[in-house]
A and B are shown apart, each in its own frame.
Chain A
Amino acid sequence: MPGSSLQTLFDKVWSAHLVTPETADTPAILYIDLHLVHEVTTPQAFSLLREKGLPVRRPDLTLGTLDHSTPTTPVRTFKDLAVVGESAANQVRQMQDNCREFGVELLGFDSPHRGIVHVIGPELGVTQPGKTIVCGDSHTSTHGAFGALAFGIGTTEVGHVLATQCILQRKPKTLVIEISGRLQPGVTAKDVILATIGQIGVNGGTGHVIEYRGSAISAMDMDGRMTVCNMSIEAGARAGMIAPDDTTFEYLHSRPRAPAGPAWEHALAQWRKLPGHPEATFDKAIQVCGDELQPMVTFGTNPGMVLPVGATVPDANGDASFRKALDYMRIAPGRPLTDTRVDVVFLGSCTNSRLSDLQQAADMLRGRQIAPGVRMLVVPGSQQVKSDAEARGLHEIFKAAGAEWRESGCSMCLGMNGDTVARGQLSVSTSNRNFEGRQGIGSRTVLASPLTAAASAIRGRIADPREYLR
């Protein structure tokens, strides 16, 4: 194949971590630089280690947090934890015990660094270009925004990594997605990735690692790039990557756990070698025109069922699954989604809970009120985001507008921690999945950007954020 010796970003990270390469009979053994762990997908893996009498091979490369089944109300005692239910409280306690027993650092309730696993890794500077990063969570793809190869794994694989610091993998195929042009006002990273998933479908990336590039990506800050990579899995791709550049390096510089001093200079020299050769080839290529993108909202029960905010919902045309989705959502074809009544607005999740996400929404909400009857929950992605936002006074803006301001966590993204959307209610959510019941039994989710969420909270109906931009 012409150009096959020229490496992509993915090729470079992949080949640098091969303990043994793949053969026809066996997958590659891939070394993992950073293993992030949380309470939901690890208890059975720790149990396995205990049964087999195995230690964690590299506790120094393993970092734990509590995010999925934790309440977003303050936790000072076990009693505070019990609000999420006995089973969730037990799971959190087991995580605390497991980390203590196996010597894994846990950023728990007493840590100012606790937060959503995909928010804290970058924030602390442990997420770095060129690393291999895994976590028992499909949104691990987020960390690819730094030029890391990062993907979600199951609990059996969590056990593999705890025991051996390695994982068995077949080399995936590569897909390059070029986002050209410049985003218009009111159009954000979330709209870019929603539109991309709409274009390639929820299975468009299956079997592939995506590399995002192009002028719209280069112009994005790291928070935006994380939003894009985060939702790679919603297109079926386990990982999404963006070549590191000065924006990446500037973000990481002086982070608490990023290299410092001479180590920083050394790391920087290595990181600068990571971008792929301009003529390296990919298995598949997709073009997205950034100039033409508009604010996007989903209308169905998967993230590929998405439209520009004012566009008309298409007809099912005999597609039973499509029909089922519209019925569930109680959305009629042939009409736009704008002006659909909203019950709940959720600003949070590993997709959109970082400081710039909160800042954008707060700028729109400043001096305005959310509509009567709408419940808006603002959940910062980490305790650090929370304190940074409070230092800027954003919490006061949210509270003055009528929204609730919470502790960090996954919260309403997946309805397993006490924060849920009630049956039948419609939620405009900055999270990543609009699956049936994702935010609570019978909940109806419309995925959108923080700007669209804030505009919809003000209107009380799904709204085009461009009408509220200042």
Chain B
Amino acid sequence: MQPVRVIRSRTVVLPVNDVDTDQIIPARFLTTTSRTGLGQHLFHDWRYRDDGSLNEDFILNSPSARNCRVLVAGRNFGCGSSREHAPWALLDSGLQAVISTEIADIFRSNSLKNGFLPIVVDDATHRWLMENPGAQVEIDVAASSVMLPDGHTVRFSMDAFARYCLVEGIDQLGFLQAHVEAIDRFEANRL
């Protein structure tokens, strides 16, 4: 995994609560056996109209969303299925972080393993971000902070191990493999 340290970007705001993984990437696109190229299906049924044409009313299709790497969304983002295709699709589209007041457990875990940042902030900060689309923010992973355009900094909580892996670009499988003797012992003790 590539290290993820600082992200500077304008935000794009999706003012919807409980955005589920079926919206992030519908199940019919999960027949792939690859983890790349999924960005074309991101929010597919919101991004495209019934006739297949681009839905220009959908925020991620607007010119203001271009090059935005930080998504701000309503509470409980990423609820639903365990599909890791959700963070794969977000990353493949150029997004690198989501900011919400609550993020679903499995989505959060999957995101952290791929270098996509699931960031939970307090209600007041979230409300400000929702009301100010396009705000320039700076996310500092090592400091676990988001800097708002006025220079004010808001801390977010992130598991220490996940943060370490992100900043150093460490693959968590390597950590598990380094404990193979402990795993061997555990198995031997159970027999």
Identify the A interface with B (CB < 8 A).
19-20, 24-27, 29, 31, 40-41, 43-44, 47-48, 52, 68-69, 85, 87-88, 90-91, 94, 136-138, 140, 152-157, 159-160, 163-166, 168, 170, 202-203, 206-207, 233, 236-238, 302, 304, 320-321, 324, 414-416, 423, 433, 435-438, 441-442
Contact = CB atoms under 8 A, between A and B. Distances in A.
Contact of A160 (B105, B172, B187): B172
B33 A43 contact: yes
Interface stretch (B54-62, B63-71, B81-89, B142-150): B81-89
A23 to B, nearest CB: 9
A344 B21 CA distance: 24
A94 B32 CA distance: 10
B136 interface: no
Interface size class of B (residues with CB under 8 A): 35 or more
Given A20-B182, A236-B79, A436-B23, A302 B18 contact: yes
B75 to A, nearest CB: 7
A435 B16 contact: no
Nearest to B109: A154
Given A156-B110, A168-B175, A206-B105, A423 B50 contact: yes
25 contacts: A19-B182, A27-B159, A29-B179, A41-B83, A44-B84, A138-B80, A152-B106, A153-B109, A154-B113, A156-B84, A156-B114, A164-B173, A164-B177, A164-B179, A166-B183, A168-B176, A203-B79, A236-B105, A237-B105, A321-B18, A321-B74, A324-B16, A415-B27, A436-B22, A441-B50
Nearest to B75: A203
B20 interface: yes
B32 A25 contact: no
A202 B74 CA distance: 13
A416 B30 contact: yes
Contact of A19 (B15, B18, B110, B186): B186
Contacts of B8: none
B189 to A, nearest CB: 10
A25 B164 contact: yes
A27 B161 contact: yes
A163 B183 CA distance: 11
A162 B113 CA distance: 16
Contacts of A324: 16
Contact of B27 (A20, A156, A164, A414): A414
Given A203-B76, A415-B27, A438 B176 contact: no
Given A19-B183, A160-B176, A441 B22 contact: no
A44 B179 contact: no
A207 B113 CA distance: 18
Contacts of A206: 76, 102, 104-105
Contacts of A48: 173
B33 A44 contact: yes
Contacts of A26: 160-161, 175
Given A168-B161, A321-B16, A302 B79 contact: yes
B35 interface: yes
Nearest to A413: B27
Nearest to B23: A436
Please name the 9 residue pairs, one residue from A and one from B, whose CB atoms are nearest each other, closest first.
A154-B110, A43-B33, A154-B84, A152-B82, A87-B31, A321-B17, A156-B113, A416-B27, A155-B84
Given A31-B183, A156-B110, A41 B31 contact: no
Contacts of B31: 40, 69, 85, 87-88, 90-91, 416
Contacts of B80: 138, 233, 433, 435
